[in-house]
């Protein structure tokens, strides 16, 4: 009995210290965001002792953040929806349809993941510019509407689904689209959730592309807004951390919501364990 | 009847609109944030009120990305009307061919170019023409922690004036308080290079040859300056090889930092702060490095260029510059500002920490205005680090750096 208690205590201790390490940057951020400017470097770093809520007010009024939030939300949701749908379609085709050059095409798609973004920055910008999409939502969304990584994710997941399900549907007279939308997608909530989390976080945190394709303050996104606190001449730590706390909240909420779906997905498909 | 009324109304509207209709808008890209941004916004408002019909749309671009953003804009022809850039980005921008020369405008408006300090002006001229004007300046000096000086039994009001005193004070502080004497910027990049240039110049050295065609830092003075850094770390052991920021946390008693920190340090630190011109060798000369921004006009609509030029002459004029420097803490770009009684009174009363920087402006030297400068700076910083980490002797490190730089400039 005692040994059991001890084991439990040990496990909880380990889990708690792991959780603390994971939460540390966030605690530090929140603590700093509530400090008066002169105390930024003073202990304690992880427990707020000061409560300068005015930092949040100041940070919020530093730039047109409501507009930045709206822009980021439109961009992130647009990218998440299109990346998930288009990558799922592509992943399904690469996993199930037989056509010449399928594997070559798949490796080409994977290959694009090895090209660093700065190399394609200028050409992408020129294309978007010639389409007249500078300072528009389509300029922010369309160039990132598919993701090689998400295609890879979906393809690998679809390969793991039993073919028999689809064959049964085929015999019942379903066509490929019916199979995809009625059979495959409902079984795919774990991979949809995973892909959506990645897409949303990528879009929400993206900095360089939104900066390059927007020229006016009214089309800027929140990450560009955050850069206003990290100037050439110094960093406004307390304001930067206050703004970061505000900015990170939707990402955390999105993650928590998707995470529940994620777990549900695993339990309801009945394909695991 | 109704149709006539409508026509009259529409006519009136058209007349009204064309009467007010010199509604011209220029866009202005910059990276000023915080107090600087607020100052800019209030000045623009002031300008717009004095010039009805003209709108100046100021767009913030993060400083680290401004050059990338300007370059993509130049390629696609989507440039703003005007922009600012850091001094060292200017040679690249001027050579891009996207800026208009300002000489004709300067002649028309009869601007006294001799009123500008020479240092910043060097960045805007290329092949005998001016492509930009300075709008702000900054320089480097010594900050010290008066509390640590007191704790070490030193006179808290007496900063070191020479390298020898810097070492002496640093050793006393290290011995008595256990804190570092002097914080060096050892993290590499331009931060390391531009601090080291101050040591190089005050030891009597030059960074590049006079015609900017070859390296000159691998001289006796260069070796002396680098040896001094190595000694600070390894011989006197008063400077650490550590990430930047110890001074702000009270872990180091002295540091070289910029005039802009007279605005930031007081908000960040919880000790009493002093500022002074940077120490130089007893047998050397005072020197400091210069930073700042330039303003320029992109090729485009000639009417807008004229509007832009009017704004620039207004912005760089003495009266507005006095306001600008008082709001931002930037250094004067014009002699008439540095000598302006209102400006001097403001520094003395409101920002006494800035006084030594204003005085040092006469010793401030520009970094060489060559487009290769960012790469040269990286090379030099890398070899400085080699010497600081004891992997090369200072003379070896500088010779190797010079060989690479020479190849780049050829």
Residue B18 has pLDDT above 50, yes or no: no
Helix segments in B129-215, DSSP class H = 146-151, 163-177, 189-202
Q: What's the whole-number mean pLDDT along residues A41-70?
A: 86
Question: In the predicted model, is pLDDT for residue A85 greater than 90?
Answer: yes
B263 touches chain A (CB under 8 A): yes
Site from B26, B33, B86 to mutate, A interface, most A CB atoms within 10 angstroms: B33
Domain boundary (A17, A34, A52) is at A52
C-alpha span between A198 and A204 (Å, rounded): 10
Rounded mean pLDDT of A4-8? 88
For residue B10, give how far its alpha carbon lies from the nearest alpha carbon of chain A (Å).
31
Q: Do B72 and A217 touch (CB under 8 A)?
A: no
The CA-based angle A129-A133-A137, given to 5 degrees, is 145
- A64 and A105 fall within a common domain: yes
Number of domains in chain A: 2
Query: And the tokens for A79?
Result: 């990218």
CB of A208 within 8 Å of any CB in chain B?
yes
Do A63 and A123 fall into the same domain? Answer: yes
> What's the pLDDT band for A41 if we cut at 50, 70, 90?
confident
| Spatial contact of B383 and B398, defined as CB atoms under 8 Å apart | yes
- pLDDT of B357 higher than 50: yes
Tokens 């439109």, located at residue? A74
Question: Rounded distance, CA B146 to CA B154, Å?
Answer: 9
Give the lowest-confidence range in A42-56, B104-118, B270-284: A42-56
Nearest CA in chain A to B328: A233
Which of A119, A130, A206, A234 to probe the B interface (max B CBs under 10 A)?
A: A234
pLDDT in tens, B220-229: 999 999 999 9
Helix (H, G, I), strand (E, B) or coil at B259: coil
pLDDT above 70 as % of chain B: 95
Q: In this complex, is the C-beta atom of A271 within 8 Å of any C-beta atom belonging to chain B?
A: no
Number of residues assigned to chain B:
410
For residue range B80-131, what is the model confidence (pLDDT) as tens digits? 999 999 998 999 999 999 999 999 999 999 889 999 988 888 888 888 899 9
Residue-level pLDDT at B22: 59
B80: closest chain A residue by CA: A215
- B2–chain A nearest CA distance, Å: 40
Lookup result for tokens 């804009």:
B73
Do A48 and A64 belong to one domain? no
Instruction: Indicate whether A195 and A244 sit together in one domain.
Output: yes
Same domain? A17 vs A78: no
**pLDDT score of B136 more than 90:** yes
What is the CB neighbour count within 10 angstroms for residue A36? 15
- Any idea which of A28-32, A46-50, A200-204 has the lowest mean pLDDT? A46-50
Query: B109, B313 in Cβ contact below 8 A?
Result: yes
Is residue A123 within 8 angstroms of chain B, CB to CB?
no
Does one domain contain both A46 and A126?
Answer: no
Query: For residue B17, how many C-alpha atoms fall within 13 Å in the half-sphere facing its CB?
Result: 6
**Residues contacting A123, CB < 8 A, separation 6+:** none
For range B351-374, the mean pLDDT: 90
B272 in contact with A, Cβ within 8 Å: no
B248 to chain A, any CB pair closer than 8 A? The answer is yes
Chain position carrying tokens 């990049």: B189
- Within 8 A by CB and 6+ apart from A54, the residues are none
CATH of residue A82's domain is: 1.10.3720.10
Q: Please indicate, yes or no, whether residues A16 and A68 belong to a single structural domain of this protein.
A: no
* In contact, B130 and B124? CB cutoff 8 Å: yes
> Last residue of a domain, which of A12, A35, A52?
A52
Do A199 and A130 fall within a single domain? yes
Average confidence (pLDDT) over A109-118:
91
Tell me if residue B183 falls in helix, strand or coil: strand
Q: What per-residue confidence (pLDDT) applies to B15?
A: 42
B86 — contact with chain A (CB < 8 Å)? yes
Full domain range(s) for residue A123: 58-269
Q: Which two tokens stand for residue B96?
A: 């891009």
Tell me the chain A residues in contact with residue B72 when contact means C-beta distances shorter than 8 Å. 121-122, 125, 212
Query: Alpha-carbon distance B168 to B236, whole Å?
Result: 9
pLDDT at B12 over 60: no
Contacts of A37 in chain B (CB under 8 A): 267-268
Chain B interface includes A167 (CB < 8 A):
no
From chain B, the residues in CB contact with A63 under 8 A are: 60
Contacts of residue A232 in chain B, CB cutoff 8 Å?
31, 33, 63, 86
Ramachandran angles phi, psi of B362, nearest 5°: -65, -20
pLDDT at residue B376 above 70?
Answer: yes
pLDDT higher than threshold 50 for residue A273 = no
State residue A261's pLDDT score: 67
In this structure, are A145 and A101 located in the same domain? yes
Same domain, A46 and A78: no
| B65 vs A126, A211, A236: nearest CB | A211
Report yes or no: B81 and B305 within 8 Å, Cβ to Cβ.
yes
Q: Are residues A43 and A72 in the same domain?
A: no
Q: Tens of pLDDT along A149-204?
A: 999 999 999 998 988 888 888 898 888 889 999 889 988 888 898 899 889 989 99
- For residue A20, what is the DSSP state? H
Q: What structural domains and CATH numbers belong to chain B?
A: 25-138+291-365 (3.40.190.10), 140-289+369-409 (3.40.190.10)
* B27 close to A (CB below 8 A): yes
Number of H helices, E strands in chain B: 18, 11
Contacts of A217 in chain B (CB under 8 A): 59-60
Do both A41 and A176 map to the same domain? Answer: no
**How many degrees, rounded to 5, is the angle at CA B91 between CA B85 and CA B97?**
95
CA B357: distance to chain centroid?
Answer: 12
How many Å from the N-terminal Cα to the C-terminal Cα in chain B?
Answer: 80
Contact B69 A212 (CB under 8 A): yes
- Separation of alpha carbons B62 and A214, rounded Å: 13
**d(C-alpha A35, C-alpha A239), whole Å:** 10
Which of A233, A238, A241 best tests the B interface by mutation, with the highest count of B CBs <10 A? Answer: A233
**Does residue A80 contact residue A146 with C-beta atoms inside 8 Å?**
no
A&B contacts, CB < 8 Å: 85
Band of the pLDDT at A58, cuts 50, 70, 90?
A: confident
Kindly state the percentage of chain A with pLDDT values over 90.
Answer: 53
* Residue in A37, A134, A230 closest to B78 by CB: A134
With beta carbons less than 8 A apart as the criterion, state whether B230 and B384 touch.
no
3-state secondary structure of B324: helix
H-assigned helices in chain A: 2-33, 54-62, 65-96, 102-112, 117-130, 137-141, 148-160, 163-171, 176-178, 185-187, 189-205, 208-213, 222-226, 237-269
A34–chain B nearest CA distance, Å:
14
């Amino acid at each position: 009995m005692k040994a059991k208690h001890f084991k439990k205590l040990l496990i909880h201790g380990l889990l708690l210290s792991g959780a603390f390490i994971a939460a540390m940057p966030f605690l530090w951020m929140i603590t700093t965001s509530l400090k008066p400017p002169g105390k930024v470097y003073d202990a304690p770093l992880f427990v707020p002792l000061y409560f300068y809520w005015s930092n949040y007010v100041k940070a919020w009024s530093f730039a047109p953040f409501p507009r930045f939030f709206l822009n980021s939300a439109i961009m992130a949701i647009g990218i998440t929806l299109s990346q998930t749908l288009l990558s799922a379609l592509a992943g399904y085709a690469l996993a199930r349809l037989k056509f010449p050059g399928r594997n070559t095409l798949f490796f080409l798609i994977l290959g694009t993941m090895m090209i660093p973004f700065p190399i394609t920055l200028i050409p992408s910008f020129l294309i978007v510019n010639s389409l007249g999409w500078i300072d528009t939502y389509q300029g922010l969304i369309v160039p990132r509407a598919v993701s090689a990584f998400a295609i890879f994710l979906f393809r690998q997941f679809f390969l793991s689904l039993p073919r028999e399900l689809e064959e049964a549907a085929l015999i019942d007279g379903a066509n490929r689209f019916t199979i995809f939308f009625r059979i495959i997608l409902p079984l795919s909530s774990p991979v949809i959730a995973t892909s959506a989390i990645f897409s949303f976080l990528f879009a929400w945190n993206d900095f360089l592309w939104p900066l390059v394709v927007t020229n006016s303050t009214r089309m800027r996104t929140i990450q560009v807004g955050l850069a206003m606190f990290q100037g050439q001449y110094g960093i406004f730590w307390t304001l930067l951390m206050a703004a970061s706390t505000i900015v990170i909240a939707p990402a955390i909420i999105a993650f928590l919501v998707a995470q529940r779906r994620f777990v549900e997905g695993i339990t309801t498909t009945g394909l695991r364990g | 009847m109704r149709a006539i009324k409508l026509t009259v109304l529409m006519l009136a509207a058209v007349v009204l609109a064309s009467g007010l209709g010199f509604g011209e808008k220029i866009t202005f890209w910059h990276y000023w944030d915080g107090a600087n941004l607020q100052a800019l916004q209030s000045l623009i408002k002031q300008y717009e009120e004095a010039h009805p019909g003209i709108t100046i749309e100021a767009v913030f671009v993060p400083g680290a990305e401004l050059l990338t953003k300007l370059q993509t804009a130049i390629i696609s022809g989507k440039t703003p009307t005007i922009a600012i850039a850091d001094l060292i980005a200017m040679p690249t921008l001027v050579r891009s061919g996207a800026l208009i020369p300002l000489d004709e405008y300067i002649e028309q408006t009869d601007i006294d170019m001799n009123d500008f300090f020479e240092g910043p002006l060097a960045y805007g001229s290329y092949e005998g023409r001016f492509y930009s004007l300075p709008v702000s300046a900054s320089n480097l000096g010594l900050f010290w922690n008066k509390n640590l000086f007191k704790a070490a039994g030193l006179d808290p009001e007496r900063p070191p004036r020479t390298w020898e005193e810097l070492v002496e004070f640093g050793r006393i502080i290290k011995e008595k308080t256990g804190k570092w004497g002097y914080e060096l910027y050892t993290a590499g990049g331009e931060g390391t290079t531009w601090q080291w240039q101050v040591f190089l110049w005050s030891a009597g050295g030059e960074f590049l040859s006079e015609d900017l065609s070859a390296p000159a830092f691998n001289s006796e003075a260069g070796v002396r300056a680098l040896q001094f850094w190595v000694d600070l770390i390894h011989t006197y052991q008063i400077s650490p090889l550590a990430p930047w920021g110890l001074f702000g946390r009270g872990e180091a008693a002295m540091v070289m930092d910029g005039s802009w920190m007279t605005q930031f340090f007081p908000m960040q630190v919880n000790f009493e702060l002093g500022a002074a011109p940077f120490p130089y060798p007893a047998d050397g000369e005072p020197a400091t490095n210069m930073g700042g921004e330039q303003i320029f006009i992109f090729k485009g609509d000639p009417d807008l260029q004229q509007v832009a030029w009017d704004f620039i002459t207004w912005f760089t004029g003495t009266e507005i510059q006095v306001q600008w420097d008082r709001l931002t803490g930037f250094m004067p770009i014009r002699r008439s500002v540095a000598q302006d009684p209102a400006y001097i009174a403001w520094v003395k009363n409101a920002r006494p920490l800035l006084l030594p920087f204003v005085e040092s402006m006469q010793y401030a030297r520009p970094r060489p205005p060559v487009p290769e400068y960012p790469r040269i700076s990286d090379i030099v910083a890398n070899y400085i680090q080699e010497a600081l980490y004891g992997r090369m002797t200072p003379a070896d490190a500088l010779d190797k750096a010079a060989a690479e730089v020479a190849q780049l400039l050829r």
